[in-house]
Amino acid sequence: MQRCVHATDTEHYAVVDPKLTKLAQGADVLIYDSQYTPEEYAGQTGGGPKLGWGHSTFEEAVKLAKVSNAKRLILYHHDPMQSDAAVAEKEKRARALFPNAEAAREGLVIEL
């Protein structure tokens, strides 16, 4: 049986969320709220910090994917202010950390 975990409108904690880790353990596909880059989240770019806004970063998505042994990571819920090129850059940075990462995009089909 294939398992898909979809964690939307999720903001990370200082540590990887143990409840999400348990839920995502061994998932074939993990779809995770990756609205921001770490720089946007911290407020270094993008008009101020996003702490408490209810969304996460691609780096936190990668941490969860690794800790939970997910096979594939889909970066989901992109900031509407990000261009397609910015989303592609976010995907590139995530893949450097977790090769099976992919940015969600219109028309993406996920086979289970």
Among residues 36, 27, 41, 30, the alpha carbon closest in space to that of 101 is found at: 30
Homologous superfamily assigned to 4-103:
Ribonuclease Z/Hydroxyacylglutathione hydrolase-like (3.60.15.10)
Tokens of 58: 């691609």
At residue 26, the pLDDT reads 98
Which pLDDT band holds residue 60 (cuts at 50, 70, 90)? very high
- Range 39-54 average pLDDT: 93
Among residues 10, 43, 36, the alpha carbon closest in space to that of 89 is found at: 36
CB atoms within 10 A of CB 22: 9
Contact 25, 67 (CB under 8 A): no
CB atoms within 10 A of CB 82: 18
Among residues 25, 108, 97, the alpha carbon closest in space to that of 61 is found at: 97
Q: Tens digit of pLDDT for each residue in 78-91?
A: 999 999 999 999 99
Given a cut of 90, is residue 112 above it in pLDDT? no
Q: Tens digit of pLDDT for each residue in 21-44?
A: 999 999 999 999 999 999 999 999
pTM of the model: 0.94
